[in-house]
Structure 1
Amino acid sequence: MCTATNHRLATQIAAHFGLFTGVLASTEERNLLGSSKAKALVDQFGDGGFDYCGDAMADVPVWRQARRATVVGDKRIAAATRKVNAAIVLFEQKRRLIPLVLYLLNDMLDLDADRRHTRKRNRPFASGRLPLSFGVVLTVLLLAGAVGLAVSLPWKFGAVLAAYFAATLAYSFALSKMHDDPIVFPSRIA
Structure 2
Amino acid sequence: MVRIKERYLLVKILYPNELGSRPDLPDVVVINQPTTDQLNSAALLRGIRAEVTNLFGDYGSGAIEGGNLGVKYFSHATSTFILRISRSSYRLVWTALTFMNSIPIKNGKPCVFRVVHVSGTMRKVEEEAIRRARDLIFTAQNDQKEKTDDPLSNMFRKSERSQPDVAMADLLSVEDDDSDVEMGEIVDD
Q: TM-score range by the shorter chain?
A: under 0.3
Q: RCO higher in 1 or 2 (8 Å CA, sep ≥ 6)?
A: 2
TM-score normalised to structure 2 length: 0.21
TM-score normalised to structure 1 length: 0.21
